[in-house]
Amino acid sequence: MPKKRRERRENCYLCGRSDNLTRDHIPPACLFPEPRPSDLITVPACHRCHDSYKLDDEYFRIFAAAGAPYDDPVGREIWDDKVMGSSLARSQKLRQYIRSCLIDVEIRSPGGLYVGVAPGLTFDKELVDRVIQRIVRGLFHHHYRSRLPADLEFLVLVDPKGKRAFPDVLAQAPKCRIGDGVFAYARKIGKEDPRYSMWWFLFYRSRLLIVFAEPSEDVRTSDGSEHNRAS
Ligand SMILES: [Zn+2]
């Protein structure tokens, strides 16, 4: 009965609804150049969830590609064609958003000498966190065919440096590459409790994020400062 498994009822990876489903790309399809690569991951999502974050995805693309344009040809192409050529040309809201993100960044020599300032891009952490949480939930569903509970706490580190950029705990975890390296990820899921997980995401070979997820009651009971769970 090899077909039996396929008949299992699918649920939206975000809210759990089982009716009116479509497929959602993880990470968002707009990060990839067209024609879209054939190895993209999709998970079941209801139309209501799916339609609610389209703008988030475009903002996120700006954030992801902004870390990369000069290092990565695909990131560069996305930046030139999609961000500058399409998103920004089309939407005044996005242009305002970008303007609000522009900051002066100090430029320093490799020796640390102050050289001057140049325009740089800061970003909306809340929005980035929202998209990252969705990617975690989507990948979890993709690998384990089950939905993470809604009440998780996420800690998202953007571009961590040095040892924090690839924590020891992830050293043994296999890296998966999607869309010719546009997105790469590794994961470590709690053996006894899969609600505890740690993720390593790399976009356009340069925008790096480390994500921790855990049940939110632990955060609540630790008076907000340290996560004192015994593990
Ligand atoms: Zn849903």
pLDDT given at position 118? 60
Cβ(74)–Cβ(181) under 8 Å? yes
pLDDT given at position 172? 83
pLDDT given at position 121? 67
The two tokens of residue 2 are: 């090899």
CA of residue 26 to ligand 1 center, whole Å: 14
CA of residue 131 to ligand 1 center, whole Å: 15
Cβ(214)–Cβ(227) under 8 Å? yes
Query: What gap in Å lies between CA 64 and CA 121, rounded to an integer?
Result: 11
CA of residue 82 to ligand 1 center, whole Å: 27
Query: What gap in Å lies between CA 97 and CA 84, rounded to an integer?
Result: 13
CA of residue 52 to ligand 1 center, whole Å: 10
Query: What gap in Å lies between CA 127 and CA 130, rounded to an integer?
Result: 5
- CA angle at residue 221 from 231 to 216, to 5 degrees? 75
pLDDT given at position 216? 83
- What are the E-state strand segments in the chain? 21-26, 41-46, 102-108, 114-121, 152-158, 176-178, 183-189, 197-203, 207-215
pLDDT given at position 171? 80
CA of residue 216 to ligand 1 center, whole Å: 21
| Chain center to CA of 74 | 17
pLDDT given at position 187? 95
Reading the chain (231 residues) residue by residue, the pLDDT tens digits are 455 555 578 999 999 999 999 999 999 999 999 899 999 999 999 999 998 888 889 889 888 887 665 567 777 787 777 777 777 777 777 777 666 666 666 666 667 777 666 656 677 888 899 999 999 999 999 999 999 999 999 999 888 877 777 778 888 888 999 998 899 999 999 989 999 999 999 998 888 899 999 998 754 455 444 444 443
CA of residue 18 to ligand 1 center, whole Å: 8
pLDDT given at position 218? 54
pLDDT given at position 149? 92
pLDDT given at position 110? 66
Angle in degrees, 0-180, between the axes of helices 54-66 and 92-101, rounded to the nearest 10: 40
CA of residue 117 to ligand 1 center, whole Å: 44
Give the DSSP letter of residue 228.
-
Rg (Cα) of the chain, in Å, rounded? 19
pLDDT given at position 106? 64
pLDDT given at position 86? 73
pLDDT given at position 227? 43
pLDDT given at position 226? 42
Question: Which candidate, 105, 94, 209, 186, places its Cα nearest to that of 139?
Answer: 186
188-200 burial code (b ≥16 CB/10 A, e <16): bbeeeeebbbbbb
Question: Which candidate, 33, 31, 40, places its Cα nearest to that of 59?
Answer: 31
The two tokens of residue 219 are: 């955060």
**What's the pTM value of the predicted model, to 2 decimals?**
0.79
CA of residue 20 to ligand 1 center, whole Å: 9
CA of residue 44 to ligand 1 center, whole Å: 9
Cβ(155)–Cβ(95) under 8 Å? no
CA of residue 94 to ligand 1 center, whole Å: 26
